[in-house]
Chain A
């Protein structure tokens, strides 16, 4: 269009650079560079701590690395896969791919619709060529050759002015089809991933073994809630399900103390109104509900205590403790019991739980993850639990407005009394499990896109594109045993590596097919 306009016209000066940029962007070279950049850009994402995966580690990394840490933070190096520059690379790649695919799809349609090209004048100038004579007439041999080539070749027979019959054969169209399928499926996969991210959500919830600990799939009942941009609050789909109870949590260990199985037996309802069902969740086997999956992602111990308050009232409490050590399950946590408001008579207990305790001197540690005569170590405080009135972690105690009443290491059933009438009894423990609810509306479709990609790759890398021409000319000796001369030429349009031997095998077959039994082939 621009070329039709007079040089220097306004449209020309605007249009030409745009077109040039577009050409450059959609060129193979640019795609290659972008692809390489994508690989390089992913590297820091694996070597630096990433905020979405490990926020605590990221924060401490920034602290210990001072200016460098802050600089890296500013350029998004701690969230590489959500950063602007990573997005820029894959968006450019996406555009480049679209721009490259559209003309290729059009060309491929044309190529598929088009008949194989007429035979070149000199077949012996092609990369592979050969000739032989056959005992049948050109017309007869044309039929024989078509049959010999079989269905994998697309064959067109033409008659030239000189009277020679030519066969143009082509195969391997599915190479480009596969190539295009792969790239289109890749684009579809990227779109599906995006949709998935926007509508996905993930919630986690700790559930103690036993009755009255259940939850339903609503935002407010999760301990942790990570929604996609459009999975806004209240838009949990489909109708919410409920996990009513974890009736039993089972952890099995080998004799060497290695975990061998974790299992949560639960009672759940598919919707609020449906009947309760029993379900089992193990590490590799989530509970799959319509649209949601429920995973078992962690477990621990929740000690139970009875606390006598300064006013003499008796409180029962059971709290999940967080494992601090993955191999011994030495866990930390806290109990908080509020007294009358403003009376400074709250009782707080911070402590540790040692499942298989080992005592050296005054220090208690844990040596194994199974509960075997566990010990609850406690520090008991009295005062104001939450003087600031702000949300607090349930696993730790703010003791700045409290005074310590004493410490104790308790076995199950033991009670320790402290000053001001406060006493703590270690009643026992229950296991808890951390359940994660995940929702991703696109992942099923994504699997299909991925399979289409593989199918495309197989075609694109496995199928070879070949062109073959045969020219059948009546020989001068029309009455002899060899009335037809067959000249063959071949061209490899991809993977030419093996073409020579492929071609010689083919020409052997073609020659053999033209020989009636008993006639010795005569080579030219």
Chain B
């Protein structure tokens, strides 16, 4: 086992901090677009005209190679000046900053990998960083297919930045070589799959929360004497409820099989490392709970009386369980998966 390259580890930390700052700037730009733009309402109608572009396809591949020509133009022209509006420029700046932030973020993870000479997701700090990156990349992927949701960027970046901040402060642990139990190629496979699945499920949860806001807004705004409050104004600029719901579902349809494979890989590893494929270790138990809740979500969407709002709450409960599994089970509950790196 090679030792730790201290200067590389230090470099990784600096890039990590920079990427948080860049994401934060991107959030400001997204918020500017959201606040000053008419995108929201335009997106609403545009999306209604050509509902729910497919985001994620069968077997987890991002599909639809043919970039359809009927995507509503994202460039918003100010009719009086003929120039692109402030909000539009803010939006594009935000996307550019997000891409830049994601590149830095990737760089920080890559440098950390060089520093520890292993896959850099063996403790909470590293896992949070990787899952955050997956969340951002998932959002950029969605954006690629459905540019009309661009103004929602800050909703995705907010949890990512919060998580990265938490990772960099509370959960931070120094670059360390792997303990014997983690010295397995399954670390790369199992944890990568988990972080991709959970990053995607986070994006789904954000869209689901927005869906609930939108549904409530739609219900209230139909009533006479409705005066939109702060949330109402926000909600009027969201894409149609139906689009949010279906997009959230497509992401789960992609992430659920992935999460299943991740658990199976974890079992194969547990069989080699601990002598049994399943032992109700707290982490395993919560993986089971998360899996069952998302199974509930998929069933709820097909059951009368649970469709729509009911299923949406189940989706949020699933993400709540993921969060619990990540934070509480790692920090408070002790078990075989205690690799938090906190002491």
Contacts and interface: CB of A to CB of B under 8 A. Distances in A.
B100 interface: no
Output the residue of A31, A446, A501 with the most chain B CB within 10 A: A501
A282 B180 contact: yes
Interface stretch (B21-29, B107-115, B133-141, B264-272): B264-272
Nearest to A37: B292
A495 B274 CA distance: 41
A156 interface: no
A35 B295 contact: yes
B86 interface: no
A497 B289 contact: no
A243 interface: no
Interface residues of B, number: 67
Nearest to A204: B275
Interface stretch (B35-43, B158-166, B296-304): B296-304
A438 B272 CA distance: 11
B233 interface: no
Given A45-B280, A46-B285, A453-B260, A283 B299 contact: no
B123 to A, nearest CB: 13
B43 to A, nearest CB: 16
A258 interface: yes
A254 B1 contact: yes
Given A453-B260, A501-B68, A260 B180 contact: yes
A29 B303 CA distance: 7
A32 B300 contact: yes
A222 B188 CA distance: 35
Contacts of B59: 458, 462
A124 interface: no
Contact of B296 (A32, A43, A458): A32
B179 interface: yes
B281 A53 contact: yes
Contacts of B177: 254, 258, 260
A498 to B, nearest CB: 4
B264 A42 contact: no
A261 B296 CA distance: 42
Contacts of B289: 39, 42-43, 46
B303 A497 contact: no
A447 interface: yes
Contacts of A261: 1, 180, 183
B257 interface: yes
B246 interface: yes
A319 interface: no
A285 B272 contact: yes
Most buried by A among B59, B254, B314: B59
A262 B274 CA distance: 14
A461 interface: yes
B17 to A, nearest CB: 25
Contacts of A46: 280, 282, 285-286, 289, 329, 333
Interface string A9-47: 000000000000000000011011001101100110111
Nearest to B268: A447
A284 interface: yes
B68 to A, nearest CB: 6
A283 B275 contact: no
Contacts of B267: 450
B275 A28 contact: no
Contacts of A285: 272
A295 B58 contact: no
Contacts of A462: 57-59, 253
Interface in A61-108: 80-81
A284 B303 contact: no
B273 to A, nearest CB: 5
Nearest to A464: B58
A457 interface: yes
Contacts of B257: 454, 457-458, 461
A43 B66 CA distance: 46
B54 interface: yes
A178 B286 CA distance: 26
Interface in B169-205: 176-181, 183-184, 186
B279 interface: yes
A491 interface: no
A53 B280 contact: yes
Interface string A285-304: 11000000101010000000
Interface string B237-275: 000000000100110011011001100100111011111
A500 interface: yes
Nearest to A297: B275
Given A28-B303, A32-B296, A461-B253, A81 B280 contact: yes
A39 B296 contact: yes
B99 interface: no
A385 to B, nearest CB: 34
Nearest to B180: A283
Interface in A451-506: 451, 453-454, 457-458, 461-463, 495, 497-498, 500-501, 505
Contact of A262 (B180, B250, B271): B180
A286 B51 CA distance: 53
Nearest to A175: B58
A258 B273 contact: no
A258 B288 contact: no
A458 B280 contact: no
B92 interface: no
B50 interface: yes
A346 interface: no
A31 B302 CA distance: 12
A498 B293 contact: no
A286 B176 CA distance: 25
A365 interface: no
B134 to A, nearest CB: 19
B339 interface: no
A284 B277 contact: no
Nearest to B281: A53
Q: Which of B179, B257, B333 has the largest count of A CB atoms less than 10 A from its CB?
A: B257
A447 B183 CA distance: 23
Given A46-B329, A285-B272, A258 B51 contact: no
B213 interface: no
A284 B273 contact: yes
A286 B54 contact: no
5 contacts: A46-B289, A193-B278, A283-B273, A285-B272, A501-B50
Interface of A: 28-29, 31-32, 35-36, 38-39, 42-43, 45-47, 50, 52-53, 80-81, 193, 202, 252, 254-255, 258-262, 282-286, 293, 295, 297, 436, 438, 440, 443, 446-447, 450-451, 453-454, 457-458, 461-463, 495, 497-498, 500-501, 505
Given A283-B181, A436-B275, A498-B54, 16 more contacts: A28-B299, A31-B299, A39-B321, A46-B329, A47-B333, A53-B279, A252-B1, A260-B1, A282-B180, A284-B183, A293-B275, A443-B277, A447-B268, A461-B58, A497-B246, A505-B66
The 4 lowest CB-CB distance pairs between A and B, nearest first, are A462-B58, A497-B246, A46-B285, A497-B52
Interface of B: 1, 3, 50-54, 57-59, 66, 68, 70, 176-181, 183-184, 186, 246, 249-250, 253-254, 256-257, 260-261, 264, 267-269, 271-282, 285-286, 288-289, 292-293, 295-296, 298-300, 302-306, 314, 321, 329, 333
